[in-house]
Amino acid sequence: MIPRSGKEERELTVEELLAKARKPSRLAPALHRFYGGKVQVMPKCPITGSDDIAIWYTPGAAAVCREIQEDRDKSFELTNRWNYVAVVTDGTRVLGLGDIGPEAAMPVMEGKALLFKHLGGVDAFPICLKTRDPEEIIRVCELIEPTFGGINLEDLEKPKCFHVLEKARERLNIPVWHDDQQGTATVILAGLINAFKIAGKQPDESLITLVGAGAANIRTAYVLIEWGMKPGNIIMVDSKGIIYPGRKDITEVESPWKYDLAQITNAEGRTGDISGAFKGVDAVVAASKPGPGTIKKEWIGRMNENSIVFACANPIPEIWPWEAKEAGARIIATGRSDFPNQVNNCLGFPAIFRGVLDVRAKTVTDDMCIAAAREIAAFAEERGIHEDDLLPRTEEWEVFPRVAVACALKSIDQGVARIKPGRQEIYERAAAIIKNARESLKVLMREGLIKPAPPELLK
């Protein structure tokens, strides 16, 4: 048994924990049907009659069009482009469900848009594409660039996701971000920063195993190295076992990013299956096949004392948290909100985009991810952390403008920001935008414009 999170003290039985874990999936279909989706478009300017419409549409808008025609960067001032983000997917690797297609990906992309708005004040739009061709996906991003201030790539299968991110970042002059890569890496790093402190471990002296060599953990490896971990202290594992130099199935042509990491990680030269990657390591970060049972209890028992286990697969973690605890892990995190220590991308992407949008940045770099991770970790540490409380929770909204500031300032430092406001100006603007989004939602709920769900749908 493990304790409830928050103020509830009674321990839950395994049966209660399983029921709790399954509840969101049980309630979601009926609630999605009741609301007909999760996001909508609302005006942000006053409309009292035809005189207003003449300003906002025709003939008034023509004068605005001419200004932008003369200086295209004015589209960031005179339209909502400064706050628009496209959430782009082809539906080939959706949230632990795999290749389910663009239509079936819509609920996740709408959910992403909802979190963008609620947590970052960002107006995001689901763009689900009926193509699997990476060049077509890149070309779509190029074609829609004039409408958006940023592109969030989502749920693209590997290895295509690496190519699309790299080439889109080269070709576009707005931030292009792959949340399954950069977002996951950011929040994993934030969690590890605090986990290492609680466990009394030094990152530069610790061994860490990354279970899964897909988009999330490949980018996590690069971010950890950029942060300061020794590459040789990282052990990577894919579906065929431990990754090491000379593994014949990993080639520079077919798997360039995995091949590159194979040359610099695993200084001990470990080989063999996944079980050998747990012996004597200090931390394990899994972003692989949903469990339970993907990671065995006996493997956890082979880790060093005060071990750290991040089992991040969704919808079911690679190992249940209570099983990892029973096996000897001191700190356990998952990707779920119904267990302690949720490693949740939504702590990263809404605020990171808030920051880069507010300085009209041209890209998002790994250094910005590290700046965000440090700020997330610092916020949690300042208000107090412990083994079951590593990271901020989404209701602690004050973390988001702070992360926005960290990313905006790093954008300015790296010379990719179009404008350069000061720290206080960035903070006040971000806080006001995020607060407005949250308060607007409260008004709609209070006034009954967003209706409460019928009680029978919540059982």
Answer whether residue 10 shows pLDDT above 60. Answer: no
Q: Which of 90, 149, 87, 80 is CA-nearest to residue 114?
A: 87
Answer whether residue 412 shows pLDDT above 70. Answer: yes
Cα dist. 368→21, 40, 42, 452 in Å?
A: 33, 30, 31, 39
- 150 forms beta bridges with 85
Length of the chain: 459
Instruction: Give me the DSSP letters along 276-340.
Output: GGSTT-SEEEE-SS--SSSS-HHHHTTSPTT-EEEE--SSS-SS-HHHHHHTT-SEEEES-TTSS
Predicted TM-score (pTM) above 0.95? no
Are the beta carbons of 122 and 353 closer than 8 angstroms?
A: yes
Cβ within 8 Å of residue 374, ≥6 positions away: 190, 193, 406
Answer whether residue 6 shows pLDDT above 60. Answer: no
Where do the domains of the chain lie, and which CATH numbers do they carry? 50-63+72-179 (3.40.50.10380)
**Amino acid letter for position 457:** L
The average pLDDT across 69-84 equals 97
Which pLDDT tens digit goes with each residue over 369-385? Answer: 999 999 999 999 999 99
Answer whether residue 4 shows pLDDT above 70. Answer: no
Catalytic machinery residues: 57, 112
Q: Specify the pLDDT at position 386.
A: 95
Q: Specify the pLDDT at position 50.
A: 95
- CA-to-CA distance for 367 and 157, rounded, in angstroms? 25
The average pLDDT across 414-419 equals 97
Cis peptide before 59 (omega within 30 of 0): yes
Both tokens of 262, joined, read 């194979």
**Amino acid letter for position 134:** P
Both tokens of 45, joined, read 């300017």
DSSP-derived 3-state class of residue 170: helix
Q: Specify the pLDDT at position 71.
A: 97
Cβ within 8 Å of residue 114, ≥6 positions away: 38, 39
Which pLDDT tens digit goes with each residue over 300-326? Answer: 999 999 999 999 998 889 999 999 999
Which pLDDT tens digit goes with each residue over 160-172? Answer: 999 999 999 999 9
DSSP-derived 3-state class of residue 89: strand
Both tokens of 27, joined, read 């309630």
Q: pLDDT band at 23, cuts 50/70/90? A: confident
The mean predicted confidence, pLDDT, of the chain is 94
Q: For the chain, give me the number of helices (H) and strands (E)?
A: 16, 12
Are the beta carbons of 192 and 182 closer than 8 angstroms?
A: no
